[in-house]
A = this chain, B = another copy of it.
Amino acid sequence: MSGQITISVDAMGGDNAPRAPIHGAKLLLRERPDVRFIFHGREEVIGPLLEEFSELKAVSDIRHSETVITMDDKPSQALRKGRGNSSMWAAIQSVKDGEAQVAISGGNTGALMAMATFCLRPIQGISRPAIAAIWPTLRSDIVVLDVGATIGADADLLVDFTILGSALARALFDTDTPSIGLLNVGVEEAKGNEWVKDAGKILSETHGAGFEYRGFVEGDDLGKGTVDVVVTEGFTGNIALKTAEGTARQVGTYLRNAMTSSIMSKIGALFARQALSAIKSKMDPRTVNGGVFLGLNGVVIKSHGGTDEIGYKSALGLAYDMARNDLIEKIGEGIRRFPRPDAPATISNPEAP
């Protein structure tokens, strides 16, 4: 996509809103001078914050919304209470209306998914949306999906996720045919549950669809970065994601405790402080922030709710990159190239009202 990128921000979502998203936007603007923002939420709190940063204010619009969706609102409650008049809904509506290429919120994940699905609707040819995570590995970042939008799957849904995930990999990484693996409990054909085995059969017979299917991968292939895209069902994907986050924190705690355990180790830590700070920033969850809602007629990103401006800057940067690299068009291309009789070769125009 050429020209400016406009990001629609739910300024009220997340623990540190609206300060963290607005400060994060200021940080991104320094790196991406062609970005614009629409901040949705209470004008009386967003306005004064923008006054602090004249450069950001110059590229931003404020859209007042009265209602704020809270973390306690169930998805159905959020839809009843916030459809039309909440900052979360309005942020998504800006994408539907073609005012922005991508929306972002640090608010309630279930509510955001419900609103995004209701407002943007699934892309024709995709049965259900997924949440994709960008996963740091020993090789490079990879895409893992679904990490929590779905519970349970069938082979067709895993194939849908393959199309979506490979489009995201083409948009974010330097590859035209990303490698794909299906997450399983072994690499042999006979392993795993029926839906994974059936999806493996479909994918191994598919060629020229914009990805290269490499077969089954296991949990430890995630950290190795064996393939560009790991496809799984949302229950397992969510547990794998949180298990990895927890293990990284666990090992980080071992390291911190060890390096402060004696005078000698403290001296060692002093000498190695640059190296240790490099690891710390490598393992900083703020540097890889943002779950990408894929499969809707428009892109929505969920930021971690508890993050700060550094975390928001990462999520906003991810949003920028996806818009810049035409993610939605790449998904449409992926659907068209996938040889399925039941998948029409069109997608709705996200800019249509």
Contact = CB atoms under 8 A, between A and B. Distances in A.
Interface centre among A151, A218, A254 (most CB of B within 10 A): A254
Contacts of A345: none
A158 to B, nearest CB: 13
A282 B253 CA distance: 12
Contact of A249 (B223, B234, B249, B269): B223
How many copies of this protein are present in the complex?
2
B264 A243 contact: no
A242 B271 contact: no
A235 B283 contact: no
A238 B253 CA distance: 24
A224 interface: yes
Interface string A227-247: 000001011101111111111
Contact of A235 (B185, B269, B272): B185
A2 interface: no
A187 to B, nearest CB: 12
Interface in A256-296: 258-259, 261-262, 264-265, 267-276, 278-279, 282-283
A219 interface: yes
A271 B274 contact: no
A271 B265 contact: yes
B245 A220 contact: yes
A185 to B, nearest CB: 4
A352 interface: no
A258 B268 CA distance: 13
Interface residues of A, number: 60
B247 A262 contact: no
Interface in A276-327: 276, 278-279, 282-283
A223 B235 contact: no
A152 B278 CA distance: 41
A319 B254 CA distance: 28
Contacts of A151: 185, 192-193
Interface centre among A148, A218, A250, A259 (most CB of B within 10 A): A250
A248 interface: yes
A259 B272 contact: yes
A218 B243 CA distance: 8
A186 to B, nearest CB: 8
A239 B219 contact: yes
A335 B254 CA distance: 38
A217 to B, nearest CB: 10
B246 A248 contact: no
29 contacts: A137-B250, A148-B185, A185-B238, A185-B239, A192-B235, A193-B235, A218-B239, A219-B238, A219-B240, A219-B241, A219-B243, A220-B246, A220-B249, A222-B247, A224-B246, A224-B250, A236-B236, A236-B239, A240-B243, A247-B247, A248-B250, A255-B255, A258-B276, A258-B278, A261-B278, A264-B271, A264-B272, A267-B268, A267-B272
Interface of A: 74, 137-138, 148, 151-152, 183, 185, 190, 192-193, 218-224, 232, 234-236, 238-255, 258-259, 261-262, 264-265, 267-276, 278-279, 282-283
Give 9 closest A-B pairs by Cβ, nearest first: A268-B272, A219-B242, A220-B246, A268-B271, A223-B246, A223-B250, A265-B275, A219-B243, A258-B275
